[in-house]
Homo-oligomer: A and B are copies of this chain.
């Protein structure tokens, strides 16, 4: 495993962007790409991109650009996305259902292994390829499969309790869509995706 813990968080974020662009180029049968073009596609600064790529031990050949497949493989290996990581989804309301039908997970290295919901009405329906299961069996499932990452899409009022449960099950990373700032143990990492915060940020910068 080529994890280099000293890589800054922002570089890791940009590696995800590069990966996305490289996948697109690969689908379009593009074989080589210059750092300038890749930087432009990913909307980052070219110098920044070249600095990030020093973490790959990959300098490209001046005037030849990068081989798309080779670069994609190197980043996949850095990011651990060269194999599918199983994740669970908790909460299958509108948002959870939207996430279940989202097509982009596999390409980015993730597979929803199971979805859980407290509402037994939702257990009857499968959403996409994944069966929705009762939350009572969540703990056993996560432990048995050794799953480390969960997406939390439950209502605000139950988010904290479910996050605590997930931490007890052995989950180490939570992508939180509930509009709540979670309190989690030190060995659990919670990222928040808050739509209203993103909107505020956007709106501020376009104000005249």
Contacts and interface: CB of A to CB of B under 8 A. Distances in A.
A193 interface: yes
B179 A80 contact: no
A201 B16 contact: yes
A52 to B, nearest CB: 13
Interface stretch (A56-64, A65-73, A98-106): A98-106
A88 to B, nearest CB: 12
A189 interface: yes
Given A20-B179, A80-B207, A189-B202, 20 more contacts: A9-B201, A13-B201, A16-B196, A16-B200, A20-B196, A79-B200, A80-B203, A94-B97, A94-B101, A104-B194, A108-B196, A108-B200, A110-B199, A148-B203, A149-B203, A172-B206, A173-B205, A189-B205, A191-B201, A193-B195
A189 B172 contact: no
Contacts of A172: 206
30 contacts: A9-B205, A12-B200, A12-B201, A16-B197, A16-B201, A19-B200, A20-B181, A41-B181, A80-B204, A93-B98, A94-B101, A95-B98, A95-B102, A103-B179, A104-B179, A105-B199, A107-B196, A108-B197, A108-B199, A108-B200, A109-B200, A110-B199, A110-B203, A149-B206, A151-B195, A173-B203, A175-B198, A189-B202, A189-B205, A191-B202
